[in-house]
Amino acid sequence: MGFDAMFFGRMDAEELGERIHNKEMEWIQRPASQSLGNEVGILFHVMNDVYNSPGGFCFDITCGDPTFQTDPTMYDTYDADREAEILDGYFTDLQGNFVEAGSDLFQVFGMDFRMMDAWKNYRNLDSMIEYMNKKYPEKWHLQYATPSNYIDAIAAMNRTWPIKTDDLFPYQSSPSCYWTGYFSSRANNKAQVRQGSSNLHAANSIYKTLLLDKNLDQELADQILAAKSNMLDQLGIYQHHDAVSGTAKQAVTNDYSARLSEAMAQNNKAQSSAFNFLIGQPSNFTNWELCERTNGTYLDCPISHYNLTEGSQVVLSIHNPSYLVATTAKIALPHPHFTVEW
């Protein structure tokens, strides 16, 4: 995958307890070791307390924790010495979760729906860093850093890491509390992602042919590229861990669904224009329209929008984007009075 390391906050409670006891909160994960052997490995790092700030040190407007006040003339709010002692104890405990005492530590500040007020957060973090470095110059040196900075620092120590080859599922956050419902929750939304992916794949098989055609006009090219870009955006957004999993709030889930639905509608219009360019329009023909249902009735398809009378003609084109050749297709008709010609 190209990763040097992966940081995450949740793992099985029993395994987490065992790892804390054995000081194995970091290890080398060897995925598919039976086939890939020992040549492939990623450093896994379990963050302390999911990805929360240390308790009592959330400085956002959404929290009730006190500010890190370092001015002793602020009699009502000055408490930097006590706060620093608490943080010192926290880092000492965190240090005990890893094999080598005295090594670098990685601590995040924030959480879901935090960092609403960046100025307030960073003003307090600046004060905290400066105060801790002055109070504990021989013990701690706090600084802003990225995960890459941390990985570079511990890589230079030439450690020997524990090895893990199996996965981290199922996830038990507490006794008899397993996180497994998201594999099947909100099935309609999961199906929509599959349908959207299929829609984009089918369209791409047409678009790639058109975009290489020197006779393609710029307007149609722009329509195709805009539709494809929107589909990629919305399908990408749907990969959020609270989106396709079905664990978002209902209003947010509705928004994911609406955005992908609108993107598919835009993409269907672009496919229609692409069909017009590729195979033209039969006589007395307005435009190609896509029937999205593969197992519905004619009422699910655009044909239901028209008042078909005796002598009306309907032209149907079937596009198979798969590399597997199919020579037959099953088509549902509204009644037996249609004459079907191949």
For 296-313, the pLDDT digits (tens) are 555 666 666 667 777 777
What backbone torsions phi and psi does residue 292 show, to the nearest 5 degrees? -80, -15
Specify which of 129-133, 158-162, 336-340 reaches the highest per-range mean pLDDT: 129-133
Q: CA 70 → CA 2, 82, 134, distances in Å?
A: 43, 11, 12
Question: What would the pLDDT profile of 261-279 be if each residue is shown by its tens digit?
Answer: 999 999 999 998 998 888 7
- Whole-number pLDDT of residue 86: 96
User: How many Cβ atoms are within 10 Å of 305's Cβ, its own excluded?
Assistant: 8
The structure tokens 């399908």 sit at 235
Share of the chain above pLDDT 70, in %: 92
Per-residue pLDDT tens for 132-154? 999 999 999 999 999 999 999 98
- What local confidence, expressed as pLDDT, does residue 295 receive? 61
**Is the distance from CB of 266 to CB of 227 less than 8 angstroms?**
yes
For 14-32, the pLDDT digits (tens) are 999 999 999 999 999 988 7
Rounded percentage of the chain residues whose pLDDT exceeds 90: 54
At 155, list the tokens.
């890589």
DSSP reduced 3-state for 32? coil
**Model pLDDT, residue 339:** 80
Lowest mean per-residue pLDDT among 85-94, 297-306, 318-327:
297-306
Strand order in the sheet with 42-46: 5-8, 42-46, 26-29, 163-164
Around Cβ 67, how many Cβ atoms within 10 Å? 17
Domains of the chain are 5-178 (3.20.110.10), 185-285 (1.20.1270.50)
Place of tokens 């926290």: 90
What's the whole-number average pLDDT of the chain? 88
Q: Parallel, antiparallel, or unpaired: how do β-strands 172-174 and 42-46 relate?
A: unpaired
Evaluate whether 25 touches 97 at the Cβ level (below 8 Å): yes
For 26, residues 6+ apart whose C-beta sits below 8 A from its C-beta are 43, 44, 45, 46, 98, 99, 154, 161, 162
Contact 100, 159 (CB under 8 A): yes
3-state secondary structure of 244: coil
Please report the pLDDT score of residue 334 as a whole number: 67
Query: How far is the C-alpha of 207 from the C-alpha of 258, rounded, in Å?
Result: 24
Which is more confident, 37 or 234? Answer: 234
Confidence of residue 164 (pLDDT cuts 50, 70, 90): very high
d(CA 118, CA 110): 11
Three-class DSSP category at 210: helix
Residue 86 or residue 99, greater confidence: 86
Please tell me the distance from the alpha carbon of residue 282 to that of residue 290, in angstroms, as a whole number: 16
Q: Cβ neighbours of residue 280 under 8 Å, at least 6 residues apart? A: none
Which position has the higher pLDDT, 200 or 276? Answer: 200
Cα four-point dihedral sign 259, 261, 264, 270: negative
Listed in order, strand segments (DSSP E) in the chain are 5-8, 26-29, 42-46, 163-164, 172-174, 177-178
